[in-house]
Structure 1
Amino acid sequence: MTRIISGFAGSRELKVAREGTRPTSDMVREAIFSGLDSRDVCEGARVLDLYAGSGALGLEALSRGASSVVLVEKGIQAGKLLRINAEMVRTVGNLTPAAIGVSVIAVSSYLASLSVRGSSSSGFDLVFVDPPYDMPEEEVATALTALVPALNDEAIVILERSTRSPAPALPAGLKLDRKKKHGETTIWWLENVIADVI
């Protein structure tokens, strides 16, 4: 069972597609959000959840105080359940429809469609990137590169990969803060960095 761990929607169960998704385990999510809570990242943050699956990561952030979340998932069946999960959390939290966006579209297409990038008023403060473990590293690197212009200054990107995957190739604008292994999963904590002005 996949559920929201804490916040206003704590313990609420999320619907998960039977195929095509790999929900982040409660243990890994607890570790991620313990780290985010220690930095007070979620409160008021604009969140983006790429390869969202059930939306467990993005909706958890919303439950813990994020101001808004956009959930991106290309799977049709997963997308239907994602909309149900989003509406459940929105209703429980008595949030406006604008607080949660769901895009049933490929991540590459979503990132390409962003019309305003890098603006502090419209960028993202926290991004979860949880692609399928068998996704080629080149595709992951391409997604990270396309993501950078949509990040606010000092944004945090949480990348989830298999422990067997190599270190991600980071584009200009992202640096590794730390990494942490949790069983078969490695969490890469990445930070948006402002290029030095010469």
Structure 2
Amino acid sequence: MKRGHPMSRIIAGAAGGTPLASVPGSLTRPTTDRVKEALFSRLDAFEVISDARVLDLYAGSGSLGVESASRGARAVDLVEFDGKASEVCQRNADLVNTVARRKVVAVHRSKVESFLDRAGESTRWDLVFLDPPYPLDEPALAAALAKLLPHLAEGAVVVVERSARSPEPTWPEGLERFAEKKYGETLLWFAEPGVEPDVEPDTAGD
């Protein structure tokens, strides 16, 4: 989980400079502003934030999701199961929604797998963050990625944040890693839906 710490803030966009509420104690693992700034610089280069539907899984304080909203995302879903963390998500969502004067960010208190199971077949996201707690094992992360795959829009970008000591995630068939970047003890993996090969029509018997 991500993410909030006492000095965390929204870095840029409509709500840039706004301090963020943080999750008390050691319930979450902060994504530093340095890493967040570098991440969003890369995402800006990919041109995937503006008008995007964004999903922040294992959201912690929701800092990555609300940063996306501040930078022009159309809609953001924060998914966090822990009660205290989800309350912090809501406070940070309210900050951005107030600036936007509409509900851009929605908070869902739910386990990631349950949330994805409930998502409608037509629900698609353009940008997805997964920053699970370090204790989450690799099979559980792989299962979440497999459940996510049917809900990725064409051209979507998936960002997985893990410890630099963690192995590369097990990507489901149809989701391909295209980049990685290490920042100290943090390692970011970038993936996208694979392009399905063109299938020639069956002309046998014509």
- Tell me the TM-score range normalised by the shorter chain: over 0.9
User: Can you list the C-alpha shifts for 1:88-113, whole angstroms capped at 9, x where unaligned?
Assistant: 1100222x22x221101111110111
Q: Give, in angstroms, the shift of residue 124 of structure 1.
A: 0.3
Are 1:173 and 2:174 an aligned pair? yes
SS of 2:192's equivalent in the other structure is: strand
Q: Give, in angstroms, the shift of residue 23 of structure 1.
A: 2.1
Q: Give runs of aligned pairs for residues 36-185 of structure 1, distance below 5 A.
A: 36-94=43-101, 96-97=102-103, 99-116=104-121, 119=122, 122-185=123-186
User: 1-side partners of 2:73 and 2:38: how far apart?
Assistant: 18
User: 1-side partners of 2:174 and 2:68: how far apart?
Assistant: 23
Of 5, 15, 18, the match for 1:9: 15
Percent sequence identity is: 46
RMSD: 1.0
Q: Do the aligned partners of 2:96 and 2:105 also contact (CA within 8 Å) in 1?
A: no
Q: Is the deviation greater in 161-170 or in 17-26?
A: 17-26
Q: Do the aligned partners of 1:4 and 1:12 also contact (CA within 8 Å) in 2?
A: yes
User: 1-side partners of 2:42 and 2:18: how far apart?
Assistant: 22
Equivalent residue, structure 2, for 1:192: 193
User: 1-side partners of 2:173 and 2:198: how far apart?
Assistant: 14
Task: Tell me which amino acid in the other structure corresponds to 1:14.
Answer: L
User: 1-side partners of 2:180 and 2:198: how far apart?
Assistant: 28
Q: Give, in angstroms, the shift of residue 131 of structure 1.
A: 0.2
Structure possessing the higher radius of gyration over alpha carbons: 2
With the length of structure 2 as denominator, give the TM-score of the two structures. Answer: 0.90
User: Can you list the C-alpha shifts for 1:121-166, whole angstroms capped at 9, x where unaligned?
Assistant: x410000000011210000000000000010011000000000001
User: 2-side partners of 1:74 and 1:194: how far apart?
Assistant: 33
Runs of 4+ in 1 over 3 A off after TM superposition: none
User: 1-side partners of 2:20 and 2:116: how far apart?
Assistant: 26
Q: Give, in angstroms, the shift of residue 21 of structure 1.
A: 1.0
SS of 1:66's equivalent in the other structure is: coil
SS of 1:58's equivalent in the other structure is: helix
Aligned pair count reads 192
Gaps of 5+ in 2: 1-6, 200-206
Q: Give, in angstroms, the shift of residue 24 of structure 1.
A: 0.8
Q: Do the aligned partners of 1:23 and 1:56 also contact (CA within 8 Å) in 2?
A: no
User: 1-side partners of 2:72 and 2:120: how far apart?
Assistant: 26
User: 1-side partners of 2:98 and 2:136: how far apart?
Assistant: 34
User: 1-side partners of 2:29 and 2:8: how far apart?
Assistant: 11
